[in-house]
Amino acid sequence: MAYVDFISQVHKSTKRDYLKRVNDYPKAEAAKKAKKWDYDYWDGDRRICYGGYKYDGRWEKVARSMVEHYGLKPGDRVLDVGCGKGFLLYDFTKVLPGIEIAGVDISDYAIENAKEEVKNSLQVCHARQLPFEDNSFDLVVSITTLHNLYCMDFHKALMEIERVGKKNKYICVESYRNEEEKVNLLYWQVTCEMFCTPEEWQWWFDTCGYTGDHSFIYFE
């Protein structure tokens, strides 16, 4: 298991006003709406969550980096756990024609409004029980998703990722290294359930027997 950072380039491209986020809209109300994983979460008011989650090609560089790092080739299978509207998976197909993709997400709205080119490869399900056979995928990824689970479901989800992946797995979760980053995370998030330092995340990885790669995003 290694620390491999594919995501900071995307995460840091967004400027965040943490105080505005927590003061401009009642935080508890925003969280209640966001946790329905419906219109408000994806395409509603920016003060609640994404404020319009539309394809802009930003994930193509991430897909390209993963293809190169893991040596993926046409015919290989990739699964995205927490795929949202399927933008990363679509970019995988652009970067590597012939790749086979699958995606799962808890949000009916996200799947219904997914990128048309990959929509048939996506399905609604919870990460704690993946509808795939053992060792089904050459790469399993989960980006900024698993920290939204309660710890008992996180445990199950990570073991499921380990089960369906042949060798290569990669997850990215939110974390914090100091009190400032912890406060910023608390101000910005609306769906996070696991607030862990890197050392605590490592404990979880070891406890779950996770053998894949990982990285963290920080709210600096």
Residue 82 lies in a domain: yes
Closest to 136 in 3D by CA, of 173, 162, 170: 162
* CA angle centred on 26, ends 21 and 28, rounded to 5°: 105
CATH of residue 206's domain is: 3.40.50.150
Segments of 18-136 assigned E as strands: 77-81, 100-105, 122-124
Label residue 13 by pLDDT band (50, 70, 90): confident
Q: Is residue 119 a part of any domain in this protein?
A: yes
Q: What is the mean pLDDT of residues 189-199?
A: 98
pLDDT digits over 162-182, tens only? 999 999 999 999 999 999 999
Distance CA 120, CA 88 (A): 15
- Tell me what pLDDT residue 191 has: 98
pLDDT tens column, 15-46: 899 999 999 999 999 999 999 999 999 999 99
H helix or E strand, kind and range, residue 70: helix 60-70
Per the domain annotation, does 1 fall within a domain?
no
Confidence of residue 158 (pLDDT cuts 50, 70, 90): very high
Residue 9's pLDDT band (cuts 50, 70, 90): confident
Q: What tens digit of pLDDT does each residue of 146-157 get?
A: 999 999 999 999
* Count of CA atoms in the C-beta half-sphere (13 A) of 175: 18
Contact status, residue 80 vs residue 93, Cβ threshold 8 Å: no
Asked whether residue 3 is domain-assigned, the answer is no
Residue from 165, 177, 168, 171 nearest 205 by CA: 171
Work out whether the CA dihedral 17, 193, 147, 121 comes out positive or negative. negative
Does residue 64 sit within a domain? yes
84 Rama sector, left if φ>0, alpha if ψ -120 to 50, beta otherwise: left
Which structure tokens are listed for 29? 């109300």
**Mean pLDDT of the 105-127 span:** 98
Query: Is 2 inside any structural domain?
Result: no
Residues of the domain holding 131: 8-217
Per-residue pLDDT at 76: 98
Query: What is the tally of structural domains in the chain?
Result: 1
Whether 29 is covered by a domain: the verdict is: yes
In a domain, residue 24? The reply is yes
pLDDT greater than 90 at residue 218: yes
In tens, the pLDDT along 59-80 reads 999 999 999 999 999 999 999 9
Confidence of residue 1 (pLDDT cuts 50, 70, 90): confident
**This prediction's pTM:** 0.96
